[in-house]
Structure 1
């Protein structure tokens, strides 16, 4: 069988037709009807009023922080258990990230530690919350805390398009929110992202900065430093057809989670990422932990067995407070995120993975965790 990837792009004939239609129209610049339609469709799905499509989720976060006035001397709170792109733009702005440990209910930012950070650290300018692996953080408490301290909240919903929290769409709850459409996400535009807000002026400012801060005059006039952050109309054409398939992709990834859980959850030492609202997550990746003291096996042994079978799997995110680049950054919490990293495993979860391929993953893991021979 061919290699089984963690979360590969899921490209259909409809995607080819959508991109071909854009190319035929000759609208290939970072402007055009497909781009307008994609921004409107994502904003509607995310229950937002306004959106601007960009070159990446990282660009979206960078613009949000700049528009909020984050700069040297400021600090921004950020979960530790996430990808580096959730924190790098803080440093672009010359500010300091302060990392917060996870809680066990969703593996997202711990609201109690967020409250503690706001009591003990001065110069906090903003809070970034990440919806990890397609499940929303405990937003009621986090929003309440941010509102009480009059701090803007940025939702990093890069992994959570299509998820929700108590009926509210992921990406609908912060002053700003953003998605990623990288090749491994639940829908893709190859590379790309989107920044969203309910305030039209904020999004127009982001659009202005993302277009090299060009003034609306006939010649090239610039009164601010801008960026080349806009998405092309071609990639938006791909995004439109991918977005139309989002619900099927969520259903398929949930079926993968359910099958993995049914086959593996009974094994000693195996614990799956808890899902607080089963109908609200988008199941971007199925994640579990392996306790070697109970299982008799380890995460690394499982990874090695999967790699030998030509199956891609990954550890959970390495906490940012343990990353060498952030060794001097402040951190609040204990060892929960670190233990998740040491024991955690992300399993192949692509919406184009077949049932036979999923069974190969299960058989390989059963053999690695129980010593039973894998099915050929």
Structure 2
């Protein structure tokens, strides 16, 4: 009997998804209106302890709206990470602003030390604005990504933001369920610390609505404006009066029905992913040349993606690992290509990109679905014990 295919990250739909979606279909509320949308927004806000939530089509749309709400314009610049998925940065260009790329630290998140250094040494703070000495433009915001469900150094980042009057938008698209266990933000969830946060429910996320996203904030005015923008900036529902350019960014009732079933199981998903991560970590410690990247000790991560570091003394390199695993019907992937090196961002300003280049060449993501069985995880580990060059 041939080995079955083990995917990287797929949905877990073993709750009440079919029941809720069927109800949505039977009541014929399937589009961007319907009770499930409001219910889902309320459940997300309650879960992450934010003052409210606004649903949207996907995480990218949420980031676009958040930048707009934070009044980032085409005259401004935004500090962003280079080590992330490109969807975290593209909305900066949607607005017409320019990104400035920052390196990562050993958690794979934005390096807060280099961020502070850049603001202190490469910028001037004048009349409440952080001005880039190179371009003379106003740096208005930071987009912080919580990579793979880890948490960026939000204490340091928020201190920097307050000092230099910067808005902070948290790209928590990979990190719903992650929160601090200690420190100034003890009990605070990823996405709820900055001015606005955004979650994604794409098919490969820890919980999914097929597509879809959610904007959260503790500023009710920001949330009201986010909802206004996401619904075509309609100021009069009856007479279709629009007071500015808006977006068709609302989530559908069908998606929200899925989301309600998923959030009911989210803590179970996190527990399973934690157990599988710890299993991998223990087993890979026994194989020279391999190590699992750690999650921070002062957080409860959601363990969304597992990052395996392929050391130089391992028998095969990153690309060979990916090809070999594919031959064994195990899906894996390299970490994203650095955004600052992508064609659309050629010529963008960067600041000391060093560690990101190292991790780019050494990290492989391995199967991490919340329905990954122990037998499948063991098979993945066994593949690494005697790898072959393909």
- How far is 1:209 from its partner? 1.0
Instruction: Report the equivalent of 2:307.
Output: 287
Distance 1:87 1:245 in 2: 30
- How far is 1:358 from its partner? 1.3
Unaligned segments of structure 1, at least 5 residues: 372-376
Instruction: Report the equivalent of 2:66.
Output: 64
Out of 320, 323, 330, which is 1:311 matched to?
A: 330
Out of 233, 254, 273, which is 2:253 matched to?
A: 233
Tell me if the contact between 2:15 and 2:265 (Cα under 8 Å) persists in the aligned partners.
no
Q: Deviations over 1:156-212 (max 9, x none)?
A: 100000011232111110100010000000000000000111111111111111111
SS of 1:129's equivalent in the other structure is: strand
Q: Deviations over 1:193-252 (max 9, x none)?
A: 001111111111111111111122421111211111000111101000000100110111
CA RMSD of aligned residues (A): 1.5
Out of 357, 360, 371, which is 2:379 matched to?
A: 360
Q: CA distance change for structure 1 residues 54 and 279 in 2, over 3 Å: closer, same or farther?
A: same
- In the alignment, structure 1 residue 164 sits paired with structure 2 residue 179: yes
Instruction: Report the equivalent of 1:374.
Output: none
Distance 1:78 1:11 in 2: 34
- In the alignment, structure 1 residue 323 sits paired with structure 2 residue 324: no
- In the alignment, structure 1 residue 108 sits paired with structure 2 residue 109: yes
Equivalences, count: 368
SS of 1:310's equivalent in the other structure is: coil
Q: Deviations over 1:21-69 (max 9, x none)?
A: 1212222221222111110111111120011010001001000111111
Q: CA distance change for structure 1 residues 351 and 217 in 2, over 3 Å: closer, same or farther?
A: closer
Instruction: Report the equivalent of 2:86.
Output: 84
- How far is 1:278 from its partner? 7.1
Tell me if the contact between 1:267 and 1:295 (Cα under 8 Å) persists in the aligned partners.
no
Distance 2:386 2:322 in 1: 12
Instruction: Report the equivalent of 1:251.
Output: 271
- How far is 1:116 from its partner? 2.2
Distance 1:216 1:126 in 2: 32
- In the alignment, structure 1 residue 223 sits paired with structure 2 residue 243: yes
- How far is 1:13 from its partner? 5.0
- In the alignment, structure 1 residue 152 sits paired with structure 2 residue 172: no
Distance 2:273 2:341 in 1: 30
Q: With structure 2 as the length reference, what TM-score do the two structures score?
A: 0.91
The structure with more helix, counted as a fraction of residues? 1
Tell me if the contact between 1:162 and 1:169 (Cα under 8 Å) persists in the aligned partners.
yes
SS of 2:379's equivalent in the other structure is: helix
Instruction: Report the equivalent of 2:54.
Output: 52
> Which stretch of the first structure deviates more once superposed, 74-83 or 360-369?
360-369
Instruction: Report the equivalent of 1:342.
Output: 361
Distance 2:274 2:326 in 1: 24
Instruction: Report the equivalent of 1:20.
Output: 22
Out of 227, 230, 241, which is 1:210 matched to?
A: 230
Tell me if the contact between 2:281 and 2:291 (Cα under 8 Å) persists in the aligned partners.
no
Tell me if the contact between 2:315 and 2:387 (Cα under 8 Å) persists in the aligned partners.
no
- How far is 1:125 from its partner? 0.8
